[in-house]
Structure 1
Amino acid sequence: MEVLRLKLFQETACYKKPAAFKVGETYPLPPYSTVKGMLHQILQADKYIPMGICIQGSYQSRIVDYQKHYFFKKNKTTDFPLITDGLALDFAYSDITAMPIYMHLLLDVHLIIHVRAKRDIMLLIKQGIEDGVPFSLGRWEDMVRVDECRMVELREADEDVETVLPIYWPVLLDPEEELPGVPYRLNWKYEIIQGIRQWQKIKVRYVKADEQMWEPGTVDPDGYPVIFPKEMGE
């Protein structure tokens, strides 16, 4: 199987958890929906494009940032959160309130992302990156450096495989074959029902590096294990 492999670097990153409000907690790796959104941005797509994604990577440490966040009290308002810090201006908002919150940031993030899709889609992603299409991963302010973008061939390993980097590993049906790790339910794609996004979630474990799998699996030319959750389709 031929897939597209991306090697990315971010000096800082925050992949904010949806339920984190008073503190901006981050996932240890970008969730599937965040990476899918980045790829759709590169493709400049206006609809969902079927694809499979495998995410693994590491970071040096966590740091904490202190930020001012604005919150809307109503669904519809004419107020606009104009930042006037340091200026001799002051605005009175009726429908907006502000609150300082702690943001958890990852420092020096290295990611390896494998993308499975139709060949023409993978080539369009590759071309978009090479052409400099603007995109982000997580927050807009967390810039992404692309260290590699190329097609690679996957193969079945001849012997048991170990994880090279921390990785999102889909939860399997057989509990005896589960890899130990931190469980997450990650957003994948959504449908809008009565004006509200209803997310399809994928159960995974955040598995640390050097964890041995139960049986030989699929790896890329450099020995990175690759697995695509069944919920993403064939």
Structure 2
Amino acid sequence: MNTMKRAVRVKLYQDLVNYKKPTSFQLKETYPLPPYSTVIGMVHSLCGFKEYNEMNISVQGKYSSKVNDLYTRYEFKNAMKYEEGRHQLKAGDFGICRGIATAELLVDVELVIHIIPKNDELIEKIEKAFVYPIEYPSLGRREDLVTIEEVKIVNLHEEVLKKSVKGEKAYGAYIPVEIINNIKLKNSQQGVEYPGTRYKLNKNYVLVNNGTVKAPKIFRKWEKKEVLYGTNILYFRNREICIDEDSYVVFAV
């Protein structure tokens, strides 16, 4: 057993939430759990960080069902002049279309998130930010408010399992592919190895200028992490995994 770093473990609850997939438009689809970039953004917002602080994140959780909800959608094209029969809104000389679209929402979401900053001195600051948030925290859309149920600093360590262990009941997790290559997992319901849906999730970004010095065009270049989302996970014995002091398995990336 080797001692590793510390982490801030938070347990969160949300009644209705959308973790939008970047490629969904007509139907605003949602990921089953918040992607790493969304969690990192919430942490930076609550802590008041003005620049990126490198950190690893582990995300686990569950939801009870999905529903579809209507929302108001605004569309406009750059430099399109206002036409009375075409546009519902006028902004100066330009026109904006207003209509409805559908968003996919998760219901009764429970999350267990481990936050592991590269700089261990930030642990207490992150803990305090969740215990005494400067504003009501949200995760997903701005209106997707979070109820903070637990905040705890925990120690992480690697451990070789002496017997097979089932994961938290009905909980799913983002399992990085690099971790899957090192441990053996099995779905207790399907009876197959490496079950689940594969995603490429955004984590953090750098700003890249695709224009010129005089006419810059700044874009975000995202670092993506390939993960497998699975539920009802069984961890086989004689495999080394990362866990915290309360026996929560940690899939940090």
Same fold (TM over 0.5): yes
| Shift >6 Å, 4+ stretches | none
| Distance in 2 (alpha carbons) for counterparts of 1:106 and 1:138 | 11
SS at match of 1:56: strand
Aligned residue in 2 for 1:232: none
SS at match of 1:136: coil
Q: CA deviation at 1:133?
A: 1.4
Mean Cα deviation higher: 183-192 or 26-35:
183-192
Aligned residue in 1 for 2:224: 201
CA contact under 8 A between 2:35 and 2:202: conserved in structure 1?
Answer: yes
Q: CA deviation at 1:176?
A: 9.0
Mean Cα deviation higher: 103-112 or 150-159:
150-159
1:18-167 alignment runs, 5 A limit: 18-74=22-78, 91-92=89-90, 94-117=94-117, 118-134=119-135, 135-159=137-161, 160-164=164-168, 165-167=171-173
| Distance in 1 (alpha carbons) for counterparts of 2:140 and 2:97 | 24
SS at match of 1:132: coil
Q: 2:244 aligns with which of 206, 220, 223?
A: 220
SS at match of 2:106: strand
Unpaired runs of at least 5, structure 1: 80-89, 230-234
Q: Deviations over 1:145-175 (max 9, x none)?
A: 1001110122333424433221000013849
TM-score with structure 2 setting the length: 0.79
Q: 1:185 aligns with which of 187, 197, 200?
A: 200
SS at match of 1:49: coil
SS at match of 2:234: coil
The total of aligned residue pairs comes to 218
- Pick the structure with more strand per residue: 2
Change (3 A) 1:213 1:20: farther
Q: CA deviation at 1:177?
A: 4.6
Mean Cα deviation higher: 51-60 or 146-155:
146-155
SS at match of 2:20: coil
Change (3 A) 1:157 1:174: closer
Q: CA deviation at 1:203?
A: 0.2
Mean Cα deviation higher: 129-138 or 157-166:
157-166
Unpaired runs of at least 5, structure 2: 83-87, 186-193, 210-217
SS at match of 2:240: coil
| Distance in 2 (alpha carbons) for counterparts of 1:190 and 1:156 | 29
SS at match of 1:37: helix
| Distance in 2 (alpha carbons) for counterparts of 1:120 and 1:142 | 30
